[in-house]
Amino acid sequence: MRGNLFAVAVDLVVLTVRRAELCVLLVERGAPPYAGTTALPGGFVRPDEDLADTATRELAELTGAATGATGHLEQLASYAAPDRDPRGRVLSVGYLAMLPDMTDLPDLVRSPADPDAPTAAWRPVGPLLESPGELAFDHDRILADGVERARAKLEYSTLAASLCPPEFTVTDLRNVYEAVWCTTIDPRNFSRKVTSAEGFLEPTAALVTGGRGRPAQLFRRGTATALHPPMLRQR
């Protein structure tokens, strides 16, 4: 009945915006196969875990639990080509995680939970998508699927706020859209649109001062998850 067994792994596409660029968290593989090459972080599902449990655990191990508060985690797709792993039959479930901008943190992320774990590094996605081949296994495809999902979801969901810190300005939010979509957006129309979308942004009492120009209103995430009307990217 079930003589054909698989190892099941969860691989993470962890995205954030750093220095106005969409970046992904990658690790250097220490063990074969593909030792010494770059790959998406991931690991095998444990006996008592559901898939989302594995994804949550691995994300916490990587970033130190900065996750649940403001971030976002969702299942992407599964990959199981017979020859995708030289060790044998391995099915990998891709998960997409989106974390707030932590540009103040270093490019290298060392796990606080497991100092022996490989060091993770933020890398801009642009070059990785344009010239694939650097990543181990079929991780180029998983990355491409994750980025495309993220780009599509910004259009009709309030997900972009997951890439912002807990309190942010309209310009912070616009910078997320511009980095993920590689476009520029008119700041004035954007501001009107997001502030008038029901449940997207909740104004706080505070203003941001210290920069040049007029101080900006600070917002928190609203309760809405869908965005009506959607934010359309130019094609």
Partner DNA sequence: ACAAAAGTGTTGATCTTACACCCATGG
Partner DNA sequence: CCATGGGTGTAAGATCAACACTTTTGT
Residues forming contacts to a second copy in the complex (CB under 8 A) are: 1-2, 4-8, 44-51, 75, 77-82, 87-91, 93, 228, 235
Does residue 37 belong to the site contacting DNA (CB under 7 A)? no
Instruction: Give me the DSSP letters along 169-213.
Output: -HHHHHHHHHHHHT----HHHHHHHHHHSTTTEEEEEEEE-SSSS
Does residue 169 belong to the site contacting DNA (CB under 7 A)? yes
Closer Cβ to DNA, 12 or 154, answer by number: 154
Which one of 40-48, 145-153, 157-165, 209-217 is the stretch in contact with DNA (CB under 7 A)?
Answer: 209-217
193 binds, among a second copy, DNA, none (CB under 5 to 8 A by kind): DNA
Please give the DSSP secondary-structure letter assigned to residue 103: T
Does residue 189 belong to the site contacting DNA (CB under 7 A)? yes
Closer Cβ to DNA, 55 or 170, answer by number: 170
Provide CB contacts within 8 A for 69, sequence distance 6+: 166
50 binds, among a second copy, DNA, none (CB under 5 to 8 A by kind): a second copy
Closer Cβ to DNA, 76 or 194, answer by number: 194
214 binds, among DNA, a second copy, none (CB under 5 to 8 A by kind): DNA
Closer Cβ to a second copy, 131 or 234, answer by number: 234
Q: Which of 29, 216, 220, 224 contacts DNA by CB under 7 A?
A: 216
CA–CA separation, 117 and 124 (whole Å): 22
Provide CB contacts within 8 A for 109, sequence distance 6+: 25, 62, 63, 119, 120, 121, 122
**Closest CB 91 distance from a second copy, rounded Å:** 6
Provide CB contacts within 8 A for 115, sequence distance 6+: none
- Coil, helix or strand at residue 90: strand
Q: Are 155 and 231 in contact (CB under 8 A)?
A: yes
* Cα–Cα nearest to 131, from 143, 122, 146, 121: 143
The reply to whether omega before 229 is within 30° of 0 (cis) is yes
- Positions touching DNA (CB under 7 A) are 169-171, 186-189, 191-193, 195, 207, 209-217, 229-230, 232, 234
